[in-house]
Structure 1
Amino acid sequence: MVFARAVLALAVMLLPATCAPSAAEELPWEEHPVRQGETLDTIAEQYPVDSYCIRRANELSGDVPPEGLTLLVPHNDDLLLETLAEVRARRKGETTADRYLEEDDRPGQAPMPASPRVDRMRSEYPGIEGLIALARGSAAEAAVITRPQLSWPVEGIVFSPFGLRRGRFHCGIDISAPRGTPIRTAAPGTVVRAATRRGFGKSILIDHGGGVMTRYSHCDTMLCKAGDKVSPGQVIGKVGRTGRTTGPHLHFEVVIDGKHQDPQKHLPQRGD
């Protein structure tokens, strides 16, 4: 009986370490200590993001980070700015982690300093502009960020609008256009990703600054790559039907502060 109780007590002691989810799983990033001989390319092979995403999240200038440096690697491309905000916060001896974790889940031996908290679900991340402001230490800075004016990326009819569609949420608009029609940037910016995306085929994601990003999907060809600076109206690809689609068209998304918005509310009015 004594032996059985001892075994039971040992199992209870080990349970949090083996069965409970770790605090790191609740955060948008994962820590990676750089080992000797590692490059951003070899590090990226261990995660579901590419080396450009890691470089940008950690604001690195080269491809070979110093040994011993702890990098923050986003869990996916959509969490790049959340990770960047944490990188900037840590440089000031601060953190954004308390925006994601409950009080008891916060890592570290010492309790984190108290900070204003918003009553939100743990899975709901702050907006991009709010994160950047937190990282810089001033919530007022986000209010003065200038957002770019967007233009139509392709000529054509919007045949599938933003919102519920056949019981599922359509996070962009579908614009009909013949295969090979030039796709133009909606505003100047930097290409974050140009690669095949599940269900959306060849897809291009552009960061325009001010918390605004646009995505162009189902491309036949992509004429840009991650890291490219693009000017307004620049041709970045051609309309196609890659991914899950029944015909050639452009699926166009607008993301502001980390949330999908109705693109037609941010584009010049025209008669369709």
Structure 2
Amino acid sequence: MPLYLVQLQEYAAAREPRLFTYQIRPGDTLYSIALEFGTDIETLAGLNNIGNPHLIFAGETIEVLTLVGSVHRVAEGETVEKIAELYGVEAEAILEANRLSGDRLLPRGERIIVPGGRLSRSGTVVFSWPLQGRLTSGYGWRNGKFHYGIDIGAPHGTPFYAAADGRVSKAQYWGSYGLMVELDHGYGWSSRYGHASKLAVTPGQRVSSGQVIGYIGVTGNTTGPHLHFEILKDGQKINPQSQLP
């Protein structure tokens, strides 16, 4: 588990879990809100059905849970044990977070805090920039051809990073991309990184956001050292900047 998640969970454990409404202030980001209240971006995005965590606006209200986890709405006949099994957590953690006794009947519609609970169906993928550098070419038409990604200039050999957690689906020389990496992030999301001089990952490997996956080069169809970066949703290339902070 990444160190920052361990720190967030320890911070949250020191306080009683709370669920409350928060009004977004100018300058807030989902990350800054998460850090302030001892949770993480995935928890906030899932709780508020935020598809793009980078698009929040001052004046809007969101719900905040002061720990890493989920909030579950009880269905007919559900017990704490069933909810714990669904989320892959211990029933005792749910009982403690909600001040419940083990024999209490859970009313349908009641909202229950699930510490550490995740449901894979949330579909939230949070992307970050794979490289700090100058944007040399954007997404769109360029010299009569459509450019299905963005180019980020950097010196030869500069490391670039996974833009989100995922699994390596390609790590090879692939046509005009040159030496490239493709990551599968789940929920229909993937990303591609082209023109590398050297790769730091292999197919099937799991990687974390911010992990070095390769180094800038000039392989493939390129006129100078840069990273060609693409984001795909359900196999369709979209503007990467629509998903970046």
State the distance in 2 between where 1:210 and 1:199 align.
27
**Runs of 4+ in structure 1 displaced over 3 angstroms?**
none
Write the distance in 2 (CA, Å) between the matches of 1:224 and 1:144.
27
The within-5 A match list for 1:84-103 is none
2:189 matches 1:212: yes
Deviation at 1:232, TM superposition (A): 1.1
Shift of 1:210: 1.1
Q: How far off is 1:144 after superposition?
A: 4.4
The aligned counterpart of 2:171 is 194
Count of equivalent residues? 126
Q: Aligned-pair distance for 1:156? A: 0.5
Partner of 2:214: 237
CA RMSD of the aligned region, Å? 1.3
Give runs of aligned pairs for residues 95-174 of structure 1, distance below 5 A. 144-174=121-151
What is the CA-CA distance between 1:147 and the residue it aligns to?
2.5
Residue type of the alignment partner of 2:236: K
> Is 1:176 the counterpart of 2:159 in the alignment?
no
Of Structure 1 and Structure 2, the greater strand share is in: 2
| Structure 2 letter corresponding to 1:218 | H
Q: Unaligned 5+ residue runs, structure 1?
A: 1-142
Larger radius of gyration: 1
CA distance in 1, matches of 2:195, 2:129: 16
- 1:114 aligns with none
Instruction: State the TM-score, normalizing by the size of structure 1.
Output: 0.45
Aligned to 1:254: 231
Aligned equivalents of 1:147, 1:204: Cα separation in 2: 22
CA displacement 1:112-141 (0-9 Å, x = unmatched): xxxxxxxxxxxxxxxxxxxxxxxxxxxxxx
Percent identity over paired residues: 46
Question: Which amino acid counterpart does residue 247 of structure 1 have in structure 2?
Answer: G
Provide the TM-score with structure 2 as the length reference. 0.50
Query: 1:180 Cα deviation (Å)?
Result: 0.9
Q: How far apart are residue 145 of structure 1 and its match?
A: 4.1
CA deviations over 1:216-269 (Å, ceiling 9, x no partner): 00001001110000011000000111111111000000001211010011001x
Distance 2:177 2:208 in 1: 24
Structure 2 unaligned runs (5+)?
1-119
> Structure 1 or 2: larger helix share?
1
